[in-house]
Amino acid sequence: MNNNTQQGIVKWQSPANIALIKYWGKAGHQIPANPSVSFTLNNAHTEMELQWEVKPESNELDITFFFEGKENLKFRQKIADFLQTRVVQYPFLKTLKITIHSENSFPHSAGIASSASSMSALALCLCSLENIFLNTLNDESNFFHKASFLSRLASGSASRSVYGGLVTWGKIDGLENSSDEVAATLQAPTHDIFKTYQDAVMVVSRSEKATSSRAGHALMDAHPFKEARYTQARSNMQALIKAIAEGDTNTFGRITEEEALTLHGLMMTSEPSVLLLLGNSLEIIHKLRTFRNEKRLPICFTIDAGPNIHILYPAEVKKEVDSFIVAELAQLCESKYWIADHVGNGPKRLK
């Protein structure tokens, strides 16, 4: 660092992602029990600005956190807890007064998971700080590799948000550079049709999740179906990679839906049982399947750990699918609210 530099600002925009093969269950500290793959989204993102200033005393972390313009102590605690785990590697953190302003492009109460976009944005800001203070991340590929590593430690699925397009995380047989520690752009051929995918999120409920994903992952430890699930996820990953290479939208849809329903099946059959789907979630799935059978269009759904249904389809059928959503599905969403998104290119440095 230039010794005259006493303060500065770093700012990143980082997207949410939606998993196709689901990460559900851990095999150690922030190590996934099975590999996962997701689409990085475009419109749903977090913008995080981190202001820093060297302070006279350097002993404790000094963090103030504003979410959408208001000081937020709950989020501050989450971020402080994570940064506390980093002070051994980054002793400079204790020498700084840090003020963070964070905003999401999607409404806070939209029932959309924000941990992937917010924790990856934080990790990217942290990597920018590492470069300012330690000058170790000038190489772009090292920078994002480190950002993915740090994102994973904060929230597993966030590791996939630092890259655009289709992104894998977790060791995959046959994929040389795949790793449980960092995510990477899918290292296999991708048919052009999957570069145009749309994600229309049917917001069935805007309420916050009743069960945290941390608690959800833990329920897999004693789950009676756990070994079968991890075997299924590995084999689905191989089949999905093949379908993505071949442009096989039917197989893609079949596996993607199986993964979503498996995730919810696992939650429903865990002890205690977790039931997040609502009546309208099922109604949307039935309507979508009827529409697909009638129109023979390449459209499928996936679901995160919540009641909202993500409808996935290539851009070439957007007009027809969006008309169907407006006519038949919007009324099943809370306040008729749904979000149109699509595959995106990954994070952007803003400052």
As a residue count, the chain comes to 351
Number of residues that bind ligand PMV (CB under 6 A): 13
Q: Across the chain, how many H-helices and E-strands are there?
A: 8, 12
Pick 49 or 259: Cβ nearer ligand PMV: 259
Nearer of residues 129 and 305 to ligand PMV, judged by Cβ: 305
**Out of 51, 95, 211, 213, which residue is the one contacting ligand PMV (CB under 6 A)?**
213
CB of 13 to ligand PMV, least distance (A): 19
Nearer to ligand PMV, 126 or 321 (CB): 126
Least Å distance, CB 327 to ligand PMV, is: 29
- Residues whose CB falls within 8 Å of the CB of residue 173, separated by 6 or more in sequence, listed in order: 234, 238
Of 84 and 213, nearer to ligand PMV (C-beta) is 213
Output the smallest distance, CB 23 to ligand PMV, in A. 3
- Restricting to residues 6-45, name those near ligand PMV by CB under 6 A: 19, 22-24, 36
Name the helix (H) or strand (E) containing 280. helix 279-295
Among 155, 249, 262, 270, binds ligand PMV (CB under 6 A): 155
Asked if residue 96 lies in contact with residue 54, where contact means CB atoms within 8 angstroms, the answer is yes
Q: Return the number of the residue (214 or 351) whose C-beta is nearest ligand PMV.
A: 214
Nearer to ligand PMV, 115 or 179 (CB): 115
CA distance 34 to 26: 8
Q: Are 340 and 202 in contact (CB under 8 A)?
A: no
Candidates 130, 257, 304, 334: give the one binding ligand PMV (CB under 6 A): 304
| 34 residue type, one letter | N
Site for ligand PMV in 111-140 (CB under 6 A): 115
Q: Report the nearest approach of ligand PMV to the CB of residue 17 (Å).
A: 7
- 261's enclosing H/E stretch is helix 249-268
Question: For ligand PMV, what does the binding mask look like between residues 239 and 278, x meaning CB under 6 A?
Answer: ------------------------x---------------
Give whichever of 96 and 154 is closer to ligand PMV, judged by the CB atom: 154
Taking residue 34's Cβ as centre, other Cβ atoms within 10 Å add up to 24
Cα angle for residues 97, 102, 107 (degrees, 5° grid) = 160
Question: Residue 342 and residue 295: Cα distance in Å, rounded?
Answer: 22
Distance CA 224, CA 222 (A): 6
Nearest approach, Cβ of residue 193 and ligand PMV (Å): 23
Tokens of 169: 């995380």
CB of 210 to ligand PMV, least distance (A): 14
Q: Count Cα neighbours of 83 within 13 Å in the Cβ-side half-sphere.
A: 28
Per the listing, tokens 């102590």 go with 73
- Taking the complex as a whole, how short is the minimal distance between the CB of residue 155 and ligand PMV, in angstroms? 4
What are 229's two structure tokens? 């699930």
Smallest distance from ligand PMV to CB 38, Å: 6
- Residues 67 and 2: their CA atoms lie apart, in Å, by 31
Contacts of residue 15, Cβ cutoff 8 Å, sequence gap at least 6: 40, 41, 42, 44, 45, 116, 117, 120, 161, 164, 344, 346, 347
- Interacting span for ligand PMV (CB under 6 A) from 69-77, 153-161, 182-190, 312-320: 153-161
List contacts with ligand PMV (CB under 6 A). Answer: 19, 22-24, 36, 115, 155-157, 213, 263, 304-305
